[in-house]
Structure 1
Amino acid sequence: MIALKQDIYDIIIIGGSAGSIPVCISLLTALKKEQTVPVILVIHRMRNVVSELDTLLAKEAGIRKIMEPEDKQAILPGKVYLAPQNYHLLFEEGGSFSLDYSDAVHYSRPSIDVSFESAAEVYGKKVLAVLLSGANADGAKGLSLLADIGAECWVQDPDLAEYPAMPAAAIAITDKIKVLSEEEMKQRLRDL
């Protein structure tokens, strides 16, 4: 197994939908407390309802705080961010977030595709992108774009995902991604 070097990534982006929250918590617990790469979570959530997903994820993963960024907020080293409900999460040159309220993509806002595509534009191949369980194809196109430019791209093994549609969609359009189990992803994150 090839060990990953933390200094080769500017950001880690984890995208997921239905069935992804337990795996997301598991991956967050695998990250070292002293890791300096910012982690961005783009998780589909219901719109217009009160959500405490940031608090739940932080508590379950043993992280002090997970932040929902505001528009133009700086992306800080070692922090974990959760895309806000009902906004697409984009990245800007110079290391800040941009929130966008344009149309939903694959019925989703935030859209994983939108965040992956924005990360490709700003960070290029210095991205580690992970796509987890979900019931639609959001994230597949963006993950394929990242893989094409040389970013490290992982997808949860659809045979082990609660909802296999999302990872299966990515596998169907590119062979440049690594298909991994939850345990394999955790081990690779520990090796960062």
Structure 2
Amino acid sequence: MTVPQAIVIGCSAGGLTALESLFAHLDPGLPQSIAVCCHTGSATVDLLCELLAKHAALPVEEARERSPMQGGVIHVAPSGYHLLVETNRRFALSVDQRVSFARPSIDVLFESAAEAWRDALIGVVLTGANSDGANGLLRVRQCGGIAIVQEPLDAESPAMPAAALERAGADYCLPLADIAPLLNRLCLP
């Protein structure tokens, strides 16, 4: 099995609480690049980054145009832009049409990251109220990456994980409390 080099995470309704819990239990020595797309509805992600940083052992920052996906850093998609990962593993921002009524779109992030990282990527779909992320997670699996989905019955809003399971399936479907320990096991030697 290829050692994962990057993790992409998508969530919507209930996402802040889920991300705080997840990040609180990630190993502080995790060397993988992490990118997060969370539908917030706010004009900026400053507050989201600030709130997540209070719970995360890893640094949290807004993803910036042309900046590289750095290992050991949690990059958060900016409000109002699709976040893409280019094949050189740098971020690109786009104001293209909304996908699944969202910009940033989880599908856009996951699909581009799958092309950049191929089988060295882990895609994680958490709580949310729509189907964004389902097509992106399918692309992660088609490229040989690992798909993790929060157990829908455990999610504050089960629609997003249920749609991901229906469309893409999963290598792991777990309660939120079990996802960080799994990521630590998959990502650390």
Q: Mark yes or no: TM-score above 0.5.
A: yes
TM-score normalised by L of structure 2 = 0.91
Alpha-carbon distance in 1 for matches of 2:5, 2:45 = 31
Kindly indicate whether the alpha-carbon contact (under 8 Å) linking 1:66 and 1:79 is maintained by their aligned counterparts in 2. yes
Matched, 1:149 2:160: no
Residue 120 of structure 2 is matched in structure 1 by 126
- Per the alignment, residue 28 of structure 1 pairs with 23
Give the Cα–Cα distance (whole angstroms) in 1 for the partners of residues 45 and 109 of structure 2. Answer: 23
Aligned pairs for 1:1-192 (under 5 A) are 8-48=3-43, 51-63=46-58, 65-191=59-185, 192=187
Q: Identity of counterpart residues, as a percentage?
A: 35
Cα drift, residue 126 of structure 1: 0.9
- Whether the aligned pair in 1 keeps the contact of 2:135 and 2:168 (CA below 8 Å) is no
What does the per-residue CA deviation read over 1:62-87, in whole Å, with 9 as the maximum and x for residues that have no partner?
44x31112211122221111000010
Deviates more, 1:9-18 or 1:141-150: 141-150
8 Å Cα contact 2:30-2:184 kept in structure 1: no
Q: Cα deviation per residue 1:120-167 (whole Å; 9 max; x = unaligned)?
A: 111111101100000000000110121122211001101111111101
Shift of 1:175: 3.0
Give, in angstroms, the shift of residue 117 of structure 1. 0.5
**1:67 touches 1:82 (CA, 8 Å); kept in 2?**
yes
Compared CA separation, residues 79 and 173, structure 1 to 2 (3 A) = same
Instruction: Tell me which amino acid in the other structure corresponds to 1:68.
Output: E
- Note the residue ranges of structure 2 that are not aligned, 5 or more in a row: none
Following the alignment from structure 2 to structure 1, what is the Cα–Cα distance between the partners of residues 66 and 44? 24
Counterpart-to-counterpart distance in 2, 1:69 and 1:168: 28
Q: TM-score, normalised by structure 1?
A: 0.90
Describe the shift of the 1:59–1:17 C-alpha distance in structure 2 as closer, same or farther (beyond 3 A). same
2-structure distance, mates of 1:66, 1:176: 27
Cα distance, 1:55–1:107 mapped onto 2, change above 3 Å: same
Unaligned runs of 5+ in 1: none
Q: Contact between 1:40 and 1:81, CA under 8 Å: does it hold in 2?
A: yes
The question of whether the paired residues in 1 share the 8 Å contact of 2:107 and 2:135 is answered with: yes
